Copies of this chain bind each other. A is one copy, B any other.
């Protein structure tokens, strides 16, 4: 068995469980159409907003600001990108911007995510270890019917990935040792950081993460498992 001794599977979420780009583009289209008369820039808008996310958490990771929930960071960075699209946040209703920012809470699962998690749940404790805060994950999971056993993540650790504290404090919260936990992610960097903390690793290919044209990113280490999607992962784990 590739994951001998593993008791819990913890999941990256943005890109691995849900389609952040598809979800943001859809909501940005409606928003931009309302304000600019056209949603043509929705993809650029989604990508610009997503690119601010490592910047925002980087400030926390480097200790330049105290731990701040992702909901608040995303809202703050939304205000910063609006001017690049000719929009002035000061002239828009806070309610509408809050709602747009909650697009992250409404990101849709990949087609195989829910059924795959249901299968994986039969054999393992399953929980997100995402940079998303608990309220964000909770609304996303309730809407998308993601059947987590618990919602873990950066907020539990008060530290963002890829800081070692984030992985290690979540493992400790599970009452397990690092080698009893496997991170499932579509990103080599996340898996490398988890492996550095002693966790097992499973790479799931999500070739459509950055757009509709598939762009597979190959595994760059010998992760314990490599799977095409969650159904394939469950199959490889005998579930």
Contacts and interface: CB of A to CB of B under 8 A. Distances in A.
Interface residues of A, number: 22
A193 interface: no
B149 A142 contact: yes
Nearest to A134: B173
A134 B174 contact: yes
A125 B150 contact: no
Nearest to A146: B149
Nearest to A152: B134
Interface in A161-176: 173-176
Given A134-B150, A134-B174, A174-B135, A142 B125 contact: yes
User: What does DSSP make chain A's interface, helix, strand, loop or mixed?
Assistant: helix
Nearest to A127: B138
B156 A149 contact: no
A175 B125 contact: no
Interface in A66-102: 71
Given A125-B138, A125-B142, A138-B125, A173 B155 contact: yes
A43 B167 CA distance: 41
B71 A135 contact: no
A138 B134 contact: no
Contact of A141 (B134, B149, B151, B175): B149
Contacts of A137: 150
B125 A174 contact: no
A125 B148 CA distance: 13
Contact of A151 (B150, B155, B175): B150
A92 B176 CA distance: 24
24 contacts: A125-B138, A125-B142, A133-B173, A133-B175, A134-B150, A134-B152, A134-B173, A135-B173, A135-B174, A135-B175, A135-B176, A137-B150, A138-B174, A138-B175, A139-B175, A141-B149, A141-B150, A142-B149, A148-B150, A149-B151, A150-B150, A150-B151, A155-B173, A156-B156
Interface of A: 71, 125, 133-139, 141-142, 148-152, 155-156, 173-176
